[in-house]
Amino acid sequence: MTRNQGPATKQTLFNKHFTNLKDPRCTYRGNLKHLLSDIMLLTISAVLCGADNWELVKVFGDSQLSWLKKHGKFANGIPSSYTIERVFTALDPKSFNTCFINWIESIRKKSDGEVIAIDGKSIRGANPKKNGNKMPHIVSAFASDNGITLGQVKVDEKSNEITAIPDLLELIAIEGCTITIDAMGCQTDIAAKIRDNRANYILAVKGNQGSLEQSILDTIRFEKPVSIDVEDDFGHGRIEKRTCYAYNSLTHVENIDRWKDLRTLIKIESEVYHKTSGETTTEQRYYISDLPPIASTLNKRIRQHWSVENNLHWTLDVEFGEDKSRKRNGYSAENYNIILKTALTMLANDKSKKLSKKSKRMKAALDYKYRESILNF
């Protein structure tokens, strides 16, 4: 994927970080009408402006051809929706993901102790029942402070998250950060890998680690917390009170050496008052961590874990319509997930307008100067 940049060309996502992508088409035949770089520019720009399928990507291209030629070649106009789909169906997603991660690292602003929430999401609309394949499941690492995805790994089903998480941890820079994972990732090997990479962990504990969960329950019963913190959260028709209890006694934990640098056991007690129904619900959750037993810090970082659900998965589903997408062939669903996260990252990084992501997409579609500022042109 090469372009004539010229000495004064500003380095962007397209001419710096995506230049090593290999065109999946038979380029040796010499009959390609559309450059891969042009297709990439067209598709990401269109999705940024609200397109959610290949046909709408072409509609955007046809209406914005003059603008696109300012930043690309497009010698033969806009490719057909079939051509666009064919490219992303065949494009190597691992190579695409590597380019995405390199770009993210170039724009990421690291902060000490930043929470990186790791969680998986199935792409339901891409369930290819007709050819016997399984619904793609994407495990993502989401930086809560930056509000951006750092990387992702695809697995065939949710149960494979255990094997995917170590691979994902190898792909991204986590030193100095706090890794939060739900109960699926509460594994001794994962805790060790996090510590080996000079990061901290907070891992949720449920029945899949039965003896560990019982150890926490025994600790709560027989020991006193060394620190307690209470947080109140208002919004979305509910009032939530979260109480964090931190324990530093590990005498009830069996085989403690299996959990590298384990230091703290945690109980979160959540009490939610629902304004509409008038009902109050309670829930208790348990965690382990190598961090010191400072309840205020632990309470905050555990709460930040849910940013992966609220700011990533919810946004992909509701504002970008990923679950409604029917991209089922080849690598199209996985590659489209990367495209969505690329557009989402650009929108999250734009601080020039105090608008919702939906409003920013509309403005980008109508105002080419604003679009160029988001794309860093």
Each residue's pLDDT tens digit, 310-351: 888 888 887 787 666 666 678 888 899 999 999 999 998 898
Asked if pLDDT for residue 5 goes beyond 70, the answer is: no
Q: What is the total count of domains within the chain?
A: 2
Q: Could you tell me the CATH number of the domain that includes residue 290? A: 3.90.350.10
% residues pLDDT > 70 (the chain): 90
Phi-psi sector, 120: left (phi>0), alpha (psi -120 to 50), beta: beta
Asked if pLDDT for residue 107 goes beyond 90, the answer is: no
DSSP SS3 for 248: coil
Are 111 and 241 in the same domain?
yes
> What is the CB neighbour count within 10 angstroms for residue 313?
20
Q: Which residues contact 248 (CB under 8 A, 6 or more apart)?
A: 226, 263, 264, 265, 293
Write out the DSSP string of 124-158.
GGG--GGGTPPPPEEEEEEETTTTEEEEEEEESSG
Distance CA 138, CA 121 (A): 5
Are 197 and 121 in the same domain?
yes
Are 148 and 263 in the same domain?
yes
Q: Could you tell me the residue range of the domain that residue 359 belongs to?
A: 13-90+331-375
Residue 174 forms part of a structural domain: yes
Residue 325 forms part of a structural domain: no
368-375 average pLDDT score: 94
Are 249 and 150 in the same domain?
yes
Distance CA 261, CA 129 (A): 44
Are 104 and 70 in the same domain?
no
Are 102 and 146 in the same domain?
yes
Residue 3 forms part of a structural domain: no
Residue 326 forms part of a structural domain: no
Beta bridge partners of 227: 246
Residue 6 forms part of a structural domain: no
pLDDT-derived band at 15 (thresholds 50, 70, 90) equals: confident
Q: Name the average pLDDT for the chain.
A: 87
Look at residues 269, 289, 315 and tell me which one is the last residue of a structural domain: 315
91-104 average pLDDT score: 92
Residue 224 forms part of a structural domain: yes
At residue 277, the pLDDT reads 83
H helices within the chain, ranges in order?
36-48, 54-63, 65-71, 81-90, 93-107, 161-171, 188-196, 210-222, 295-305, 307, 314, 332-349, 357-366, 368-375
Asked if pLDDT for residue 17 goes beyond 80, the answer is: yes
237-244 average pLDDT score: 88
Q: Which residues contact 139 (CB under 8 A, 6 or more apart)?
A: 118, 119, 120, 152, 153, 154, 155, 161, 164, 165, 168
Are 175 and 116 in the same domain?
yes
Are 359 and 273 in the same domain?
no
Stretch among 62-66, 87-91, 159-163, 231-235 having the lowest mean pLDDT: 159-163
Asked if pLDDT for residue 296 goes beyond 90, the answer is: yes
Kind of pairing between the strands at 280-289 and 264-274 = antiparallel
158-163 average pLDDT score: 75
At residue 122, the pLDDT reads 80
Are 137 and 223 in the same domain?
yes
Are 149 and 173 in the same domain?
yes
At residue 145, the pLDDT reads 85
Distance CA 334, CA 160 (A): 16
Residue 68 forms part of a structural domain: yes
Are 253 and 177 in the same domain?
yes
Are 346 and 268 in the same domain?
no
Look at residues 266, 282, 315 and tell me which one is the last residue of a structural domain: 315
2-29 average pLDDT score: 69
pLDDT-derived band at 6 (thresholds 50, 70, 90) equals: very low
* Global pTM value: 0.87
Size (the chain), residues: 377
194-217 average pLDDT score: 92
Residue 307 forms part of a structural domain: yes
